[in-house]
Amino acid sequence: MTRLSGGLIDRSKPLNFTFNGKSYRGFEGDTLASALLANGVQLMGRSFKYHRPRGVVAAGSEEPNAMVELRTGARQEPNTRATMAELYDGLSARSQNHMGPLNRDLLAVNDLMSPFFAAGFYYKTFMWPKAFWEKLYEPAIRKAAGLGSLSMLPDPDQYDKGFLHCDLLIVGAGAAGLAAALTAGRAGAEVILADEDFSLGGRLTMESDTLDEAEAAAWIASVKAELESLPNVRIMTRTTVFGVYDHGIFGAVERVADHLKEPGAKVRQTLWRITAKRAVLAAGATERHIPFADNDRPGVMMAGAMRAYANRWAASPVKRDGDAIAIFTNGDDGHRTAMDLIAKGANVLGVIDARAGAEALGDYKLFAGATVTGTKGRLGLTSIEITRNGTSEWHNVGALGVAGGWNPNVHLASHHRGRPVWDDRLLAFVPSADGPKGLIPAGAAAGKGGTAEALADGMRAAIEALSEIDVTASEIALPKAENAASDQAAFWHVPGDKRAWVDFQNDVTVKDIALAHKENMKPVEHLKRWTTLGMATDQGKTSNISALAVMAELTGKSIPETGTTIFRPPYTGVSLSVLGGGDTGNNFRPSRLTPTHHWAEKLGAEFVEVGQWMRAQYFPRQGETHWRQAVDREVLAVRAGVGICDVTTLGKVDVQGADAGEFLNRVYANMMGTLAVGKVRYGLMLREDGHLYDDGTCARLFEDHYVVTTTTANAGLVYRQMEFFHQCVWPELDVQLISTTDAWAQIAVAGPKSRELLSRIVDEFDISNEGFPFMGCAALTICGGLRARLFRISFSGELAYEVAVPARYGQALMERLMQEGADLGVTPYGTEALGVLRIEKGHAAGAELNGQTTAQMLGLGKMVSMKKDSVGAVMSRRGGLAEDKRRLVGLKPIDGQQQIMAGSHLFTRGTAQETGTDQGWVTSSCYSPHLKSYIALGYLEEGDTRIGEQITAANPLEGKTLMAEVVSAHFVDPEGGRLRD
Amino acid sequence: MLIPHPLLGLRDSQEFTYLGDANLMHRPDPAAENAEAAFCEYVFLRDNPAGVHRELWFHEQGDRSWLVVTRDTTTHEILGAELASDVKLGAAQ
């Protein structure tokens, strides 16, 4: 154990966990990284390309090295940063990216071959032969690379998404964020304070700075208590604001239960969409490295992180108590780490400061004007080489902190094409004024990282943000604080011949950047893609600026001239599960149930998804072992007796108004205005480009009241199109539209005995053939006073009706029909039988109206009225469409027991089966129990003149062809006598 | 994105269905001599400006209004939204 004194961990709550199968103990308040360090574990993983041993480098979400596979079984989660994994009792983690044990990785051989793995290696090496990429190179590379692995099991946890609105969103709860939240909270503004950490305070929890001459923790606790007492402030810890979107919308992920062993009743994570009138970016800053030879050994870490582990988590970076610690810095900040470590009783070798004129802040050895030029230690740091004035000496150390300066976290400020600007004094990019509207950077994120200036800047930002939305906020009494010395030299890397890592996660070294420069990949965008610098899970948070500096040095340009990186969402990785927000499986989209769904369920129906609808597909009876038995029985029952089917899903649009008839004349290709009251007409709707759009019926119930139906699939689209013409094209027409699809349950009653059945439920209404002939419609009452609509229309070709009642009576009506028709053998039928019946009759459905077909092809060209204009009429007569000679035909296989697959292509007998000789295609097919043969519908060139011809139906997907006879599309009752009787 | 609905105030763009160029409101005269050519242009050709664009949005999960929204396609800034029927009737007067 290398636990120090103090810290913000709760020593009364020990937690047991395992890493690579070995048991350790930490405390509540630990992260996996801090607990491992406190247990003397420096080696936490292997690097991506060279499989170099690696330890933790940072203490936050920027961590490039210490990534683990967390949890087991279905919850196994790869590439989790140990620095962000909150410790819980029973946590289980494994290191990744090695073959064999972590300390003897077989793939470490890659490191010996590093001369071959230079920048652009993949692009240069795996180009030839081309065919090898897919079969050989890519699978091998993918297997060797890719860091952690997935469980390949479905995610067992729940995810959610939510929407929040506020006056002020504050991103980050450090000094600036807390000051902003207190200022805005006291002003009464609706405030959301979000931080990715599990506790408030940000960097204040990791420094030894005092506030009001007391530990910062005391001030944080008092602010927290006050904010929690304010009803207008919402504190969201464990919440990462990952992106800025249009109009003040922010994306955030709240890790609701990631800190628990299992989420239990909670959701695992929530995706929040936060709409904020204004926002303060108080996201702090990220420390950068100074590349030097062999700077990647476990035990080498950021000096600021070292300080954070010591102050907040009481964790020492060394393996054994008493091992010496050195600091390598280019500015004053590194000295703070030395002072804090000494205060904690650590053995500090001294501070190596690249500045010749550097001065010590306290009682420790100072190597001014010196650099670190080498390290030793196979699985962890054992010694470093310090070089001053050309003289080098080795020193034994167990850890080295590197302080290269701080980069403001400008990410969110550059999401809307905001380009950060270079600050010569800070030696860093800071947010520019052209960032997202309404987002005000503050504190360290704005380059004001001193504690006192961050507090004041947070308050200033909140007052400024609120004044823009006319909320007056007053200055608050800020705690007494200081700004630490922050002098710094523009010292970016230690030159040398050996490899010096810039990007740890992707194994990019100074040499790689030099090679990219030599190969003319100088623009930063090229540099990134050639070397993979700044890619992968950390997106170069610790490496981008160092790389720019190295490239700037090579080109002789300044850093801002060399470029900057463009940050895009997300700030840190966002899991696909939470982006889905629980929309998986049955929740992927809404399910719509028909009014008779539960009745059908009780009857044992099989259901099928039709768009969002669940429709009864068929109703198997006892003894039926194959779906065809049920479907054939249902079809024959309709043809011989009576069947009933829920057709509620067909779209219904109520059209009312003095100009309703005129409006329908314009949206339907055929004449609707002349329809008599009490009559129904089949209608064809075209798209404006002249193709068929949809079909349905149009019933005129009253003088100025029509009800039109659409196909199930197009219900929403047709309604949208009708509203478009109503509101955008002809708003002068007196017409009102409303979709009533869900308001009315509609049941088809079909078959020769349908009139007999209906006569038993209608109230004093003449439904004789004379009183209510084919294509009649009426508003009436049934079952003793229930208002209903009756349509004498037929999809099956039999005598048939559709009866509509308010949706809540749908199931009762269905049950009544079953009861009343028991002696008639009434048979419920599903969508399969419905399909067979309409194919037997030659009625078009979705497969025939596929968006590429025309009224002429259906044989209904004359329905496009020449007497009036309608949507699509002009374009339907254009060249190309008007001459199309393909026509809808019926097809009957010569061997009736052979199925013609829908999608088969038609060819004249004996011709080659090529695109040039293609004669059409099969749209729908089924087995007809009526004809005891498979049948099909299809479009065929000059089909109307080829009745009787034998033709080839080719199904190249399955390598099958069969011969079929071209017949009329109306297999049943072509004269239409049955539906008129 | 948020769309300032003239009747309902700021609404999330997810409630809307996008159609495109508001010029679709100007359906050509079907009786004109060059009707087919005019319809071809109307149906198939659109301007694709980088900058201010007037376009049609349908408040499908809302009050079913068609809106003419003026949006800068380079910044997504929304400069205004009107009821399409008002726009059309206003233009006719």
Query: What's the rounded mean pLDDT across residues A624-642?
Result: 97
B53 vs chain A: nearest CA distance in angstroms?
17
User: ipTM score of the complex?
Assistant: 0.98
What CATH number does residue B53 fall under?
3.30.2270.10
Residue ranges covered by each domain of chain A? 159-286+408-467, 650-740+847-871, 885-980
- H or E element, residue A122: helix A121-125
Percent pLDDT > 70 in chain A is: 97
| β-strand partners of A827 | A643
Query: Is A124 part of the contact surface with chain B (CB cutoff 8 Å)?
Result: no
Per-residue pLDDT at A141 exceeds 80: no
How many Å from the N-terminal Cα to the C-terminal Cα in chain A?
95
Query: Is A247 part of the contact surface with chain B (CB cutoff 8 Å)?
Result: yes
Per-residue pLDDT at A111 exceeds 70: yes
In whole angstroms, give the CA distance from residue A566 to residue B70. 29
Class for domain A650-740+847-871, per CATH?
A: alpha beta
Per-residue pLDDT at A106 exceeds 90: no
The boundaries of the domain holding residue B43 are 2-92
Please report, for residues A328, A510, A642, A782, the alpha-carbon distance to residue A764 in angstroms, rounded to integers and kept in the order given: 99, 94, 22, 9
Looking at residue A848, its pLDDT comes to 96
Higher pLDDT, A932 or A566: A932
In whole angstroms, give the CA distance from residue A16 to residue A27. 8
List the single residue in A with minimal CA-CA distance to B79.
Answer: A247
Query: Is A28 part of the contact surface with chain B (CB cutoff 8 Å)?
Result: no
Q: With beta carbons under 8 A apart, name residues in chain B contacting A249.
A: 1-2
Q: Are B71 and B57 in contact (CB under 8 A)?
A: no
Least confident of A213-227, A428-442, A534-548, A707-721: A534-548
In a mutagenesis test of the A interface, which of B12, B21, B66, B73 is the best target, namely the one with the most A β-carbons within 10 Å? Answer: B66
Q: With beta carbons under 8 A apart, name residues in chain A contacting B84.
A: 727-728, 731
A863 vs chain B: nearest CA distance in angstroms?
18
Instruction: Centre a 10 Å sphere on the Cβ of residue A108 and count the other Cβ atoms it contains.
Output: 17
Query: Is B39 part of the contact surface with chain A (CB cutoff 8 Å)?
Result: yes
Q: Which CATH number fits domain A159-286+408-467: 3.50.50.60, 3.40.50.300, 3.20.20.70, 3.20.20.80?
A: 3.50.50.60
Looking at residue A901, its pLDDT comes to 95
**Residues 557-586 of chain A whose Cβ lies under 8 A from any Cβ of chain B:** none
List the single residue in B with minimal CA-CA distance to A869.
Answer: B30
A512: helix, strand or coil: helix
Do A877 and B40 count as a contact with CB atoms less than 8 A apart?
A: no
List the single residue in B with minimal CA-CA distance to A870.
Answer: B30
Q: Are A303 and A333 in contact (CB under 8 A)?
A: yes
Q: Are A660 and A722 in contact (CB under 8 A)?
A: no
Looking at residue A262, its pLDDT comes to 93
Domain count, chain B: 1
Q: What is the pLDDT of residues A397-431, one digit of tens each?
A: 999 999 999 999 999 999 988 899 999 999 999 99
**Per-residue DSSP letters for A750-772?**
ESTTHHHHHHTTBSS---STTTS
Which residue of B19, B43, B89 is in closest CB contact with A689? Answer: B43
Per-residue pLDDT at A283 exceeds 70: yes
Do A728 and B56 count as a contact with CB atoms less than 8 A apart?
A: yes
In a mutagenesis test of the B interface, which of A271, A667, A728 is the best target, namely the one with the most B β-carbons within 10 Å? Answer: A728
B26 vs chain A: nearest CA distance in angstroms?
7
Q: What is the CA radius of gyration of chain A?
A: 38
Query: What's the number of CA atoms in the CB half-sphere (13 Å) around residue A834?
Result: 21
Instruction: Centre a 10 Å sphere on the Cβ of residue A959 and count the other Cβ atoms it contains.
Output: 7
Query: Is A723 part of the contact surface with chain B (CB cutoff 8 Å)?
Result: yes
A865 vs chain B: nearest CA distance in angstroms?
13
Per-residue pLDDT at A455 exceeds 90: yes
Which residue of B2, B28, B36 is in closest CB contact with A878? Answer: B36
Between strands A679-686 and A905-908, the pairing is unpaired
Per-residue pLDDT at B32 exceeds 60: yes
**Residues 270-289 of chain A whose Cβ lies under 8 A from any Cβ of chain B:** 275
Q: What is the pLDDT of residues A544-603, one digit of tens each?
A: 999 999 999 999 999 999 988 778 899 999 999 999 988 888 888 899 999 999 999 999
Supply A611's token pair. Answer: 């768009």
Query: Is A526 part of the contact surface with chain B (CB cutoff 8 Å)?
Result: no
CATH architecture, range A885-980: Beta Barrel (2.40)
Per-residue pLDDT at B93 exceeds 60: no
Do A723 and B58 count as a contact with CB atoms less than 8 A apart?
A: yes
A434 vs chain B: nearest CA distance in angstroms?
12
